[in-house]
Amino acid sequence: MYRLGIDLGGTNIVAGVVDDEYKIIAKASCKTAVPHPESEICDSMAEVAMKAIEKAKIKLEDVESIGIGVPGAVNPKTGVIEYSANLFFHNWEVVKMMEERLNTKVLIENDANAAALGEYLAGSAKGAKNAVAITLGTGVGGGIIINGKIYSGSNFAGAELGHMVIVKDGKECACGRRGCWEAYASASGLIALTKQKILSEKLEFSYMLKLCDGDINKVNGRTAFDAMRDGDPTAKAVVDEYISYLSCGLVNIINIFQPDVLCIGGGVSNEGETLLGPVRTFIERERYTKHNDKQTVICTCTLGNDAGIIGAAYLD
């Protein structure tokens, strides 16, 4: 038997057929038509699922279950997406609607939780008992695995790790709070910091701005790292400040959960050891358990966007 995972994002819907060795054997995708009625989104998900099944050269009857990873607050018990800002929906009975279309068992989970489960089953956290996965994207996504199970709290809204405060009365976060880790450690936070440093210089001498063809709107999450590698001191200051914010939150997570593995994904993680080397140094200095024999392994996620598909497919 096979399973099928769907990653329902604000931009794309991706479905993948997953075998019993956690390998994706076929995928299909389409654009997410938002804002659109719930029924049309369900139609698109069902269509993409069937295309993936067709590509895998199997039948729907060969699929044991279908899992969906969704951004926002979801209730796996009731099958309801209670709130998803990116999809503009409240109290969407998505499981009921999808089961009506596909006549197959359907489960849902928060997308960051699904990705963490995917890394636990088949990625960089494979073999761990307890693991945390962090995604550095537009926001900071978090997924926690304890004893092999997703931890989501008493109301299925846990693991919002990006919304712990690391700077009291700091930058305003999209959630409305001030000083959230997400406002500093996300790719968006890195871009904002880079722009801030560029504007603090004399623009005609800004090397980072030159890398962006003189257009500050072209600044991205790689700009400061690329300029730092070329020897620009202002860029190094940006990277050092960003890493200090990122590491501060990671130390908090390690001190609370003491996972076997903490893996970092998202676009910023593509910097590899340029990012992780200084992060490890900071954590080794600041963590509460610096004298313990066993320490958390810090690494990058290995499955990329496939993590969410694999994790969603193996929801139970």
The angle at the Cα of 28, spanning 96 to 30, to the nearest 5 degrees, equals 75
d(CA 287, CA 244): 13
Per-residue pLDDT at 138: 86
d(CA 112, CA 135): 8
161 forms bridges with which residues in the sheet? none
- Do 19 and 153 lie in a common domain? no
Q: Give residue 174's pLDDT band: very low, low, confident or very high (50, 70, 90).
A: confident
Structural domain including 44 reads 2-120+306-313
In this structure, which amino acid lies at residue 172? E
- Do 115 and 145 lie in a common domain? no
Residue with tokens 């636990």: 120
CATH of the domain at 100: 3.30.420.40
Answer yes or no: are the C-beta atoms of 308 and 69 closer than 8 Å: yes
- Do 98 and 146 lie in a common domain? no
- Do 272 and 229 lie in a common domain? yes
Answer yes or no: are the C-beta atoms of 74 and 80 closer than 8 Å: yes
Q: Is the dihedral of CA 144, 148, 149, 153 positive or negative?
A: negative
- Do 75 and 222 lie in a common domain? no
pLDDT by residue (tens digit) across 236-271? 999 999 999 999 999 999 999 999 999 999 999 999
Answer yes or no: are the C-beta atoms of 134 and 296 closer than 8 Å: no
pLDDT by residue (tens digit) across 287-302? 999 999 999 999 999 9
- Do 221 and 168 lie in a common domain? yes
Answer yes or no: are the C-beta atoms of 146 and 159 closer than 8 Å: no
Q: Where do the DSSP E strands lie in the chain? A: 2-8, 12-18, 24-31, 63-70, 73-75, 80-84, 89-92, 106-110, 131-136, 140-146, 149-150, 261-265, 297-300
pLDDT by residue (tens digit) across 192-238? 999 999 999 877 789 999 999 999 999 999 999 999 999 999 999 99
- Do 18 and 144 lie in a common domain? no
- Do 27 and 166 lie in a common domain? no
d(CA 60, CA 73): 28
d(CA 29, CA 44): 9
> Using CA atoms in the order 252, 255, 259, 264, what is the torsion angle rounded to 10 degrees?
20
Q: What is the pTM of this model?
A: 0.90
Q: Give residue 10's pLDDT band: very low, low, confident or very high (50, 70, 90).
A: confident
Per-residue pLDDT at 202: 79
- Do 146 and 276 lie in a common domain? yes
Rounded to 5, what percent of the chain is helix, strand, coil? 40, 25, 35
Residue with tokens 């962090």: 134
Per-residue pLDDT at 205: 82
State how many domains the chain has.
2
- Do 93 and 198 lie in a common domain? no
- Do 71 and 135 lie in a common domain? no
- Do 48 and 132 lie in a common domain? no
d(CA 34, CA 10): 7
pLDDT by residue (tens digit) across 122-141? 999 999 999 999 999 888 99
d(CA 190, CA 196): 10
Residue with tokens 């001191």: 233
